[in-house]
Amino acid sequence: MSGTSYSQVEFGEELPALEPDVSLANVRRFTHAAGMTFPRFHDHEAARKEGLPGAIVPGIMSQGILAALIHRWAPSARILRIDTVFRSPILVDSRPRATGVVTDKNDGEHTVEIDLTIQNEAHESPVVGTATVAL
Amino acid sequence: MEIDVDKLKREWAGSTFDTAEFEISADDLRDFALACGETAPHYTDPSHPDFRAVPNFTARYVGRRILPDNFPRLSDGFGFDAGKCVTVLGPIRPGDKVTAKSRIHDIYTKTGRSGTMLFIVHRMEFSNQRGESVSIVDWRMVQRARS
């Protein structure tokens, strides 16, 4: 399996950005796989009745998108811990952008710390997080 | 109303209040991974010899109860999901039967311009059918404290 090795990674390195698919069809696929039945995740009208601007991406799907960002950068990486903060919703059918940057390296354990962000089209950061990753 | 966080923690943190079991399906593992944008075959292809769950797959689960019976009602609303931290301890594969034990891990408050918010950290510890620990999920639930 190819991948980014520990020695290749530099402090401050930016991971290639990911523009995830948060279309209604894909979010429905996710909610079905995750057993999430709340209509606010897959029905715009139902979400609006709850006072939301439209259907919203589940927080754990955002977390999964950030994990995918890491795996696309380093396919053989093992995520040991991933912590995400859900500040505000990401809207279904919007165009968010996931990014990450290496903020620390642990030479003894060959792990790196990564700061993670999902930005919306207004350049706000509704989801942020950190991960500890073994390379 | 001032919330006595230390008293709440003494009375409620630490004890398991719920246990639930879940069976892991290959289709759910694959679709969860693909919808999140995973491309590595050990997450997306059930025929791969190392096929397994993505790191945060267990974050999808909730037990039968979110809080212990008789836990005091400290806010006027249901609150919201402020975040999740997943610690990966071992692989989860199709056909595994995982057991999740829930307890309150921490309780704390934060005060800002909009008032005092109460955070309850609900911890689920997952083990597989061989008794091996595979995942810990800390779910931060936040509520606006009653004034």
**How many structural domains compose chain B?**
1
| CB neighbours of residue A49 within 10 Å | 11
Which domain CATH number covers B119?
3.10.129.10
Angle formed by the axes of helices B26-36 and A24-34, to 10°? 150
CB-nearest partner of B39 from A32, A72, A82:
A72
**Residue B65, domain member (yes or no):** yes
**Residue B51, domain member (yes or no):** no
Tokens representing B6 are 């230390």
**Residue B71, domain member (yes or no):** yes
Point out which residues pair with B103 in neighbouring strands. Answer: B16, B123
B37 with A18: Cβ contact below 8 A? yes
Domains of chain A and any CATH numbers: 6-22+58-134 (3.10.129.10)
**Residue B30, domain member (yes or no):** no
Contacts B27 to A, Cβ<8 Å:
33
CB-nearest partner of B88 from A69, A72, A79:
A79
B69 in contact with chain A, both atoms CB, cutoff 8 A? no
Q: What is the pTM of this model?
A: 0.93
Which residue range forms the structural domain that includes residue B18?
Answer: 5-24+61-144
Per-residue pLDDT of chain B (147 residues; tens, 9 = 90+): 677 888 888 888 888 999 999 999 999 999 999 999 999 999 999 999 999 999 999 999 988 888 888 888 777 666 788 899 999 999 999 999 999 999 999 999 888 887 888 899 999 999 999 999 999 999 999 887 665
B35 with A33: Cβ contact below 8 A? yes
**Residue B46, domain member (yes or no):** no
